[in-house]
Amino acid sequence: MLLTRKSAGDGTTSSSRAFVDNLARGLSRAMPTMDRRKFLRRSGLGLGAGIAASQLSLVRKAQAADPAAASSGGAKVEVKRTVCTHCSVGCAVDAVVENGVWVRQEPVFDSPISMGGHCAKGGALRENAHGEFRLKYPMKLVDGKYQRISWDQALDEISAKMLKLREESGPDSVFIVGSCKSNNEQGYLLRKWMTLWGSNNCDHRARICHSTTVAGVANTWGYGAMTNSYNDMRNAKSAIYLGSNAAEAHPVSLLHMLHAKETGCKMIVVDPRFTRTAAKADQYVRLRSGTDIAFIYGVMYHVFKNGWEDKKYLEDRVYGMEKVRETVLAEWTPDKVEAVSGVNEETCFKVAKTLAENRPGTLVWCMGGRSTASATPSCVRRACCSWCWATSASAAAARTSSAATTTCRASPTSVRTPIRCPATTASPKARSSTSLRSGVSTSSGSRSAMRRA
C-alpha cells in the first residue's frame, strides 16, 4: 500500500519530477494507493475494532458472593419459610433474616398454592413490620404538619375527646369496626371494650364481604361458604367469572385459572368494565351494573329451553327447580333480559352453550356480584346457586366459588343419601317474601322453596 499526496496539477514538469511520476506509476501498478483522508479513516476503524476485541477477554462469568461473607461483621443470614397472613389462601414466603431482623422476602416457586406469585398485599408483607414508612410512634397534625408526640400525650388527648363525646352525644356516638388482620383474642378484647364503653356499635368488615354470601348460599346450599379448591379450578373445562376482577383482586387464583386455560378451559368474564381479567377471557360479556339476576336467568332460559340441564342431578338432589324453570321460561324471556341487563339473546345463548358443552364447570363470584343494589345481595347468591344446579355436569355436582377463590366438586354417588336442596326463583316484578324455615326476608322477586325434611 502506497501513501501519496494529491498534487495541484500546475502543468510544470522537470526531469526529476518525471522520474518521480514514473516511479509512482510503477508502484501504483504493483500495490493499491490511497490518500491521507482514507488512511486516517481506516486507521481509526482498525483501532476501534482492536479495542473492542480486547474487551471481550474481560467478560467473565459472575459468581454470587456468599451472603455471610458479604455482610459486614459476619452477620448470620437465615432463610425461613413462612405463610402470608393477609387472607386464608396460604401463599408461601421465604423470609430472609439477618441477625434476627427480616431484611427481605422471596417468592416460593415450589408452593402448590401461590406457585411463586403474590398479590400486592403479600408482596409488601415485610413492610407491615419493618417498612421504612411504617408509623412507629404517635403523630399529631399541627398547623397542617404532623408532629411527633409521646404515647402518654396521645392517650390523654384521645381519652379526653372520647369522654367528652360520650357526655355530649351518648355512648352510641362511637362506632368501632374490626379488621381481618386482628386475631381472635384482639377481637374479643375489642368487643369487651365496647361493652365497657356502653354500646354495642361494634362490627367487622366481613359484614360487607361475607354476610350476603352466608344469607344466600347457606339458605340454598346449606353451607354458607366456598365449596371448591384450586385443584377443581385447574380441572374445570369451563369457568365463568361474575363480578370478579381476579387479575387485580386475587391474582393467585387467576394463576390457577390460567393453568386451566392451557388445558382447554373456556373462560367467560361477566363485568360492566373491561378489566384485566376480561382481557384473559375467551368470552367477555358486558352488562349493566346491578343486573346480575337478569343475566343469570337469561342464560338459564336457554339451558332449560334446549334441555341442557342435568336432569338426573336435579332429580336426586334439588327441590324446587321446577318452579325456577317455570318462572324463567315465562317471565325472563330474551327480550326482557336484554331490556334489563343490556345483554342480547345471542350472547346469553353462547354463554349457555359454552357451559353446557364444557363440563365440569366452575362459577367464580366476588364483591362485584354480592355487593349489589339489585334486589338484595343474597338474592344474587341464590340465583347463582340455581344457575350452578341447572348447568352442573352429569359426573359432578354444581360448582360455585365465593370470594373469587376456588371451585368444588362432589360426585352425586359420593353421598349415599340424596340431599334435597331448595332452589330459588325471581321475577321481574318486585315482590317480597319470607322464608318460613330460615326467617330471612328477601325482596325484589326472591322466593325460596322449602327444604324437605
How far apart (Å, rounded) are the C-alpha atoms in residues 377 and 216? 8
204, 220, 252 - which closes a domain: 204
The length of the chain in residues reads 453
For residue 33, the model assigns a pLDDT of: 61
For residues 349 and 435, membership in a common domain is answered with yes
- The number of angstroms, rounded, from the C-alpha of 83 to the middle of its chain's C-alpha atoms is 18
What is residue 186's predicted lDDT score, i.e. its pLDDT? 86
* Residue 41: inside a domain: no
In this model, does residue 280 exceed pLDDT 90? Answer: yes
Which residues, in sequence order, are bridge partners of residue 94? Answer: 81, 106
Residues 290 and 431 placed together within one structural domain of the fold: yes
Neighbour-count burial of 197, counting CB atoms closer than 10 A to its CB (0-12 exposed, 13-18 middle, 19+ buried): middle
Residues 335 and 302 in one domain: yes
When mean pLDDT is compared across 53-57, 189-193, 237-241, 340-344, the lowest value belongs to 53-57
Assess whether pLDDT exceeds 60 at residue 190.
yes
Report helix angle 377-390 to 321-331, nearest 10. Answer: 100
> What CATH number does the domain containing 299 carry?
3.40.228.10
Q: Which residues form the domain of 237?
A: 212-448
Residue 156 is assigned to a structural domain of this protein: no
Maximum separation of any 2 CA atoms in the chain, in Å: 132
Show the cell assigned to 39. Answer: 488512511
Same domain, yes or no: 235 and 356 = yes
Quickly tell me which residue has 399541627 as its cell: 142
Is residue 413 within 8 Å of 312, Cβ to Cβ? no
Section 301-314 average pLDDT: 90
Task: Region of 402 please: left (phi>0), alpha (psi -120 to 50) or beta.
Answer: beta
The reply to whether 42 falls in a domain is no
Cell of 347: 350472547
pLDDT of residue 196: 93
Pair type for strands 202-204 and 176-178: parallel
| 250 plus 391 within the same structural domain | yes
pLDDT at 62: 54
| 223 and 300 co-located in one domain | yes
What CATH number is given to the structural domain containing 116? Answer: 2.20.25
Whether 235 is covered by a domain: the verdict is yes
Contacts of 3 (CB under 8 A, 6+ apart): 33, 34, 36, 39
Please name which of 203, 211, 204 lies closest in space to residue 440, comparing C-alpha atoms.
211
Does any domain span residue 48? no
Report yes or no on 160 lying in a domain.
no
**Residue 368 within a domain:** yes
**Of the residues 176, 204, 232, the one at which a domain ends:** 204
Long-range Cβ contact pairs of 190-197 (< 8 A, separation 24 or more): 197/166, 197/171
**Do both 437 and 314 map to the same domain?**
yes
Which of 117-121, 148-152, 358-362, 403-407 holds the top average pLDDT?
A: 148-152
The pair phi, psi for residue 344, each rounded to 5°, is -80, 170
Note the pLDDT of residue 100. 86
Model confidence band, residue 264 (pLDDT cutoffs 50, 70, 90): very high
- Give yes or no for a contact between 282 and 236, defined as CB atoms under 8 angstroms apart: no
- List the beta bridge partners of residue 318: 421
User: Is the bond preceding 112 in cis, omega lying within 30 degrees of 0?
Assistant: no
Paired strand residues for 105: 95
Portion of the chain with pLDDT greater than 90, in percent: 34
Nearest to 300 by CA among 339, 265, 342, 331: 331
Do 380 and 433 share a domain, yes or no? Answer: yes
Contact 319, 422 (CB under 8 A): yes
Q: 142: phi > 0 → left, psi -120 to 50 → alpha, else beta; which?
A: beta
Is the pLDDT assigned to residue 164 strictly greater than 80? yes
Three-state secondary structure call for residue 12:
coil
CA-wise closest residue to 84 among 105, 112, 98, 99: 105
pLDDT at 383: 65
User: Are residues 291 and 264 both part of a single domain?
Assistant: yes
| 352 and 260 in a common domain | yes
Whether the predicted pLDDT of 287 surpasses 90: yes
Any domain includes 75? no
Alpha carbon dihedral 439, 440, 446, 450, in 10-degree steps, equals -40
What the block records as the C-alpha cell of 343 is 345483554
CB-based contacts of 276, cutoff 8 Å, min separation 6:
245, 247, 248
SS3 call for 453: coil
- If asked whether residues 314 and 334 sit together in one domain, one would say yes
Same domain, yes or no, for 228 and 119? no
Tens of pLDDT, residues 338-353: 999 999 999 999 999 9
pLDDT in tens, 393-409: 322 233 333 333 333 33
Q: Which of 204, 225, 254 represents a domain boundary (last residue)?
A: 204
Q: Is the pLDDT of residue 356 over 70?
A: yes
pTM, entire model: 0.64
Where is average pLDDT lowest: 82-86, 94-98, 351-355?
82-86
Top-confidence residue, 100 or 23: 100
Q: Tally the domains of the chain.
A: 3
